Amino acid sequence: MPSQPRLRAISKSEKTFDLSAYLERTTAAVNTGFERLLPKAATKPSTIHTAMRYSLFAGGKRLRPALCIAAAEACGGNLEDAVPYACAVECIHTYSLIHDDLPAMDNDDFRRGKPTNHKVFGEGIAILAGDGLLTQAFEILAEAKAAKRYPHNITVLELAKASGSLQLIAGQVADLEGEGKKLDEKELRYIHERKTSALLTCSTRLGGMSANCTSAQLEALTDFGYHVGLAFQVIDDILDVTQSSEQLGKTAGKDVAAQKATYPSIVGLENSRQIAKKLTGKAFAALVPFRAKAVALEGLAKYLLERDR
Ligand code: GRG
């Protein structure tokens, strides 16, 4: 039974890992990084910089940055070098949420417990705030300290591919086109791999790159990111039908209302929970080569499985 010792080793190291302290530390470092890396709100034209900062500082969970930093640490790197990489991914993530909330897409009024960007600044500025963050991500990455094995052309390509029309945007297109249609599990997985897992995988890979990881480490981080990304989205689908809007900080029940295919709608709630657990088990297994250095990645994967918002 090869999987049992792995899972046992993980629960042992988790006992010594304080996830909330870790998230506090990584979030604080990323917020400080943003203060340094972003134009100030008052910088002309101040409307756009205020709008970009509004969504960036609206209270997101900062999971992608935490995964990025934890991946760097698993490879022997440090928080300071990983922060710009983490900020770049969070800029992409936040841009995608601003655009996803627009009336032409998911048409949402509520995100991260606050009115959505277009509700506060209007649609034109919200589109531009998303564009601004998308561009800012690449500026940050191009100016980040590059590790020996991963020069800027590699890291920029990494983020461009994860955010582009074959991954994040492909997932969003398939999601839009799938509304009201009966999708099967394979088609749903296609969406989840691109809309969610691609950017989570990119987070762990960029973290590894910031730490000058080996190719074997990069492969393990890819395997981990992929499975944790899929588990994350299955849980997101579950939370959409089991939690309140207040709890989630965004409108609950949107998937059902928009007639979107989700794991619970295709395989049922209990099977969805089992699938998320299985995916997390695979993510854990990918961490074996990192031994004790993967303690933060393990803690984050466990948290993502058990989260309630
Ligand atoms: C507009 C190109 C484009 C893409 C949009 C982000 C997105 C793709 C759609 C939003 C809906 C959705 C279910 C996305 C999947 C990823 C996801 C679950 C995002 C929410 O991530 P959290 O929970 O959010 O980490 P916070 O606000 O905590 O950062």
Query: 301 Cβ partners below 8 Å, 6+ apart?
Result: 224, 228, 231, 280, 283, 284, 287
Question: At residue 245, what is the residue type?
Answer: S
**Complete DSSP assignment for 236-288:** HHHHHHHS-HHHHTS-TTHHHHTT---HHHHH-HHHHHHHHHHHHHHHHHHTG
pLDDT value at residue 212 = 98
pTM above 0.85, yes or no: yes
pLDDT value at residue 15 = 54
The region, left, alpha or beta by phi > 0 then psi within -120 to 50, assigned to residue 62 is left
63 lines ligand 1 (CB under 6 A): yes
pLDDT value at residue 307 = 87
CA of 295 to the centre of ligand 1 (A): 25
Nearest residue (CA) to ligand 1, atom 2? 169
Secondary structure of residue 182 in the 3-state scheme: coil
pLDDT value at residue 257 = 73
120 lines ligand 1 (CB under 6 A): no
pLDDT value at residue 13 = 45
Nearest residue (CA) to ligand 1, atom 9? 100
CB-CB contact of 212 with 147 (8 Å): yes
pLDDT value at residue 260 = 82
Q: What Å distances lie between residue 60 and 176, 272, 291, CA to CA?
A: 24, 25, 30
Q: What Å distances lie between residue 193 and 158, 188, 215, 291, CA to CA?
A: 16, 9, 22, 27
Ligand 1 pocket test target in 34, 172, 195, 256 with most atoms within 8 Å of CB: 195
pLDDT per residue of the chain (309 residues) written in tens, 0 to 9: 233 323 333 344 445 789 999 999 999 999 999 999 999 999 999 999 999 999 999 999 999 999 999 999 999 999 999 999 999 999 999 999 999 999 999 999 999 889 999 999 999 999 999 999 999 999 999 999 999 999 999 999 999 999 999 999 999 999 999 988 999 999 999 999 999 999 999 999 999 999 999 999 999 999 999 999 999 999 999 999 988 778 777 777 777 777 888 999 999 999 999 999 999 999 999 999 999 999 999 999 999 999 887
Ligand 1 pocket test target in 26, 91, 97, 251 with most atoms within 8 Å of CB: 97
182 token code pair: 């009966």
Q: Exposed (0-12), middle (13-18) or buried (19+): which is 43, by Cβ within 10 Å? A: exposed
pLDDT value at residue 8 = 34
The residues with which 169 forms a beta bridge, in sequence order, are none
CA of 172 to the centre of ligand 1 (A): 10
Residue 169 alpha carbon, nearest atom of ligand 1? 2
pLDDT value at residue 2 = 31
pLDDT value at residue 113 = 86
197 lines ligand 1 (CB under 6 A): no
89 token code pair: 């991914």
Determine the Cα angle at 187 with ends 186 and 190, to 5°. 90
Nearest residue (CA) to ligand 1, atom 15? 196
**Complete DSSP assignment for 128-150:** HHHHHHHHHHHHHHHHSPPBTTB
172 lines ligand 1 (CB under 6 A): yes
304 lines ligand 1 (CB under 6 A): no
Residue 249 alpha carbon, nearest atom of ligand 1? 27
CB-CB contact of 13 with 287 (8 Å): no
